[in-house]
Amino acid sequence: MWWKVVAGLLIAIVVGFFALIKSVGITPGIIVHSLTGDGGGTPSQKTVRSRLQVPDGFSVGLYASNVVNARVIMFTRSGDLLVAQPRESTVSLLARDANTDGKADGQRILLDKLYRPTSIDFFEDYLYVSESNAVGRIKFDHESGETIGEYERIITGIADEGNHWTKTIRFGPDGLLYLASGSSCNVCDEIDDQRASITRYNPDGSGEERFATGLRNSVGFDWAPFDNQIYATDNGRDLLGDDYPPCELNKVELGKFYGWPNVNGFGDLDPDFGDESKLIEATSPVHGFRAHNAPLGIRFIDLAAFPKAYRESALAALHGSWNRSSYDGYKVVSLHHKSDGSFEEKDFLTGFEKDGNIIGRPADVTGGPDDCAYISDDFGMAIYRVCYGIEGEAIASTSSSVIQETGLEDFDKATRLNLQSDGEQLFMTRGCLTCHGVSGSTSSGLLPLKAINKRYTLDSLSAFYKTPTPPMPPVHLNEEDQLALSTYLLGIE
Ligand code: HEC
């Protein structure tokens, strides 16, 4: 088809353009964001200074900009920061801050051609990666920051259909590999009992054992240094209104059941799948986050430089609501362990959302070798660094808005109208309305799609269909239908 030729030419021009700007030393990241459909780009230094807030005595700075689709982060033993980027199919390495100016000394791709890599961990000589349907590993030299030999998938065929397709892996203090797998749906009885559970394996992928069940979507988990138990975030179900049910922090123990889909929050029967017989069995959370806050990564930080009030505390990234009539979440909170086993939640890094304007969505947190906390943001394509007692050194960012072409410019009006009406049909009949209103039908707290052409192009929408933001399930359409649907979406005001 002629438009494929045009698309090919465009790609050639873009590749040439990138080579050119690279040769003159301009970061290609600014342009990348407008092609990938991530958030509005990394915020400027000015925006970071004026918007982001931390508790007294702390400072926040931008550690790295233009880190596309940054999800799980993990420091190597030499202080380089690895970042899983599911939509890019890559794991990148942000070079350690050798000149101590508070920012990473460069960024490079460490592993590519992965299938939706969502998390990483180290064990012995290996770097482990969870893809949405597999776990793989490759030898890793912490000193040089280079991989050695071939990447090998040691667990394959893990179900990843439907809503919560990410997988999170971590090695426990017992040397076993723990894997969290989210539910395929908002609320349902799963056929594959690995969904909505935490499973553990030997480091070579053998010895699969279901560790705990009834966990709807535990994207983040960590072991507390004070009791060596797993604490896992869990996203509560949708479509029961703005303020119900709570998202959860669960203390996850072997063989226990945590309620989903029958019991919500602290012992409430679910209106659709409630089952009295499960009430006794279901373990309640140790903390309830506000509904739809979407807690993702959690880490017990235990950083020596932090004040005493942060001993026995964790930081958790609240990605933020999507099906709520006003935004909520969009911040990092600290969770302070109390003597009765519960947790007190306090704001730690806020300001990503202000009056409906969003500049970031925290995805993961970790502690750095410099005793500062690091936060990944998959919307602002940024890594933030929060330190105690160090003067704020927010770094100049080169963000600017680039006027983008969506790719629709090449179609004449009649073709566009035809595609749009086919696309509208697809939108109405392919289940999109379960979660999305379009302009004018924004009631019931569903996510209205607005001004898609400000953030997406034909190409970036195609990438989005394959790796959407959970809980949105991947969209399976042939190329022609994809084009029609995208044309429709790009036309929504
Ligand atoms: C199970 C609920 C669900 C279904 C079904 C669903 N989506 Fe989504 N969609 C979401 C969520 C959740 C987001 C991301 C919200 C967020 O960023 O937190 C999203 C985001 C999007 C975005 C990006 C919006 C933006 O402003 O960046 C587009 C475009 C989109 N969906 C299109 C579709 C289309 C087309 C369909 C039908 C084929 C569909 N969605 C079906 C839940 C859903």
Q: Give yes or no for a cis peptide into 245 (omega within 30° of 0).
A: yes
Query: 472 C-alpha to center of ligand 1: Å?
Result: 5
> Average pLDDT in the 299-313 region?
93
Pair (127, 88) in one structural domain:
yes
Pair (407, 382) in one structural domain:
no
Question: Could you report the per-residue pLDDT of 129-174, keeping only the tens digit for each?
Answer: 999 999 999 999 999 999 999 999 999 999 999 999 999 999 999 9
pLDDT at residue 91 greater than cutoff 90: yes
Q: Alpha-carbon distance 407 to 459, whole Å?
A: 8
Q: Alpha-carbon distance 372 to 380, whole Å?
A: 20
pLDDT at residue 80 greater than cutoff 90: yes
Pair (210, 268) in one structural domain:
yes
247 assigned to some structural domain: yes
Q: Alpha-carbon distance 222 to 295, whole Å?
A: 13
Query: 289 C-alpha to center of ligand 1: Å?
Result: 23
388, 413, 448 — which closes off a domain?
388
Which atom of ligand 1 lies at the shortest distance from residue 322's CA?
18
Pair (366, 249) in one structural domain:
yes
Q: Does 452 contact ligand 1 (Cβ within 6 A)?
A: yes
Question: For a pocket test of ligand 1, which of 435, 442, 477, 483 has the largest count of ligand atoms closer than 8 A to its C-beta?
Answer: 435
Query: 293: domain range?
Result: 40-388
Question: For a pocket test of ligand 1, which of 436, 454, 466 has the largest count of ligand atoms closer than 8 A to its C-beta?
Answer: 436
33 assigned to some structural domain: no
Q: Calculate the average pLDDT of the chain.
A: 87
Q: Alpha-carbon distance 377 to 245, whole Å?
A: 25
Pair (82, 178) in one structural domain:
yes
> Average pLDDT in the 198-218 region?
98
pLDDT at 290: 93
| Number of domains comprising the chain | 2
What are the CA-CA distances from residue 336 to residues 27, 40, 87, 227, 434 (Å)? 40, 33, 33, 14, 37
pLDDT at residue 400 greater than cutoff 50: no
Q: With the CA atoms of 394, 297, 432 and 89 taken in that order, what torsion angle do they form, in degrees rounded to the nearest 10?
A: 80
Token pair belonging to 253:
């123990």
Query: 492 C-alpha to center of ligand 1: Å?
Result: 14
pLDDT at 455: 80
Closest CA to 51 of 397, 445, 403, 455: 397
396 assigned to some structural domain: no
460 assigned to some structural domain: yes
Closest CA to 249 of 324, 299, 199, 176: 299
Pair (361, 408) in one structural domain:
no
The CATH number of whichever domain residue 423 belongs to comes to 1.10.760
pLDDT at 445: 59
Pair (13, 51) in one structural domain:
no
Pair (331, 406) in one structural domain:
no
pLDDT at 403: 47
* Among protein residues, the one whose CA lies closest to atom 11 of ligand 1: 472
Q: Alpha-carbon distance 76 to 18, whole Å?
A: 30
Q: Does 294 contact ligand 1 (Cβ within 6 A)?
A: no
Q: With the CA atoms of 145, 151, 155 and 159 taken in that order, what torsion angle do they form, in degrees rounded to the nearest 10?
A: 90
Q: Alpha-carbon distance 487 to 315, whole Å?
A: 41
Contact in structure between 177 and 135 (CB atoms under 8 Å): yes
397 assigned to some structural domain: no
Q: Alpha-carbon distance 296 to 377, whole Å?
A: 11
Q: Alpha-carbon distance 46 to 71, whole Å?
A: 24
pLDDT at 456: 86
The CATH number of whichever domain residue 336 belongs to comes to 2.120.10.30
331 assigned to some structural domain: yes
Question: Could you report the per-residue pLDDT of 254-299, keeping only the tens digit for each?
Answer: 999 999 999 999 999 999 999 999 999 999 999 999 999 999 999 9
Neighbour count for residue 138 (Cβ, 10 Å): 18
394 assigned to some structural domain: no
Q: Alpha-carbon distance 232 to 314, whole Å?
A: 11
Q: What is the pTM of this model?
A: 0.79
> Average pLDDT in the 66-89 region?
97
Question: For a pocket test of ligand 1, which of 36, 378, 447, 452 has the largest count of ligand atoms closer than 8 A to its C-beta?
Answer: 447
Among 28-42, 76-90, 243-257, 325-339, the least confident range:
28-42
Pair (348, 465) in one structural domain:
no
Pair (76, 9) in one structural domain:
no
Pair (114, 196) in one structural domain:
yes
Residues 6+ apart with CB under 8 A from 472: 163, 435
Share of the chain above pLDDT 90, in %: 69
Which atom of ligand 1 lies at the shortest distance from residue 186's CA?
1
Pair (13, 44) in one structural domain:
no
Share of the chain above pLDDT 70, in %: 87
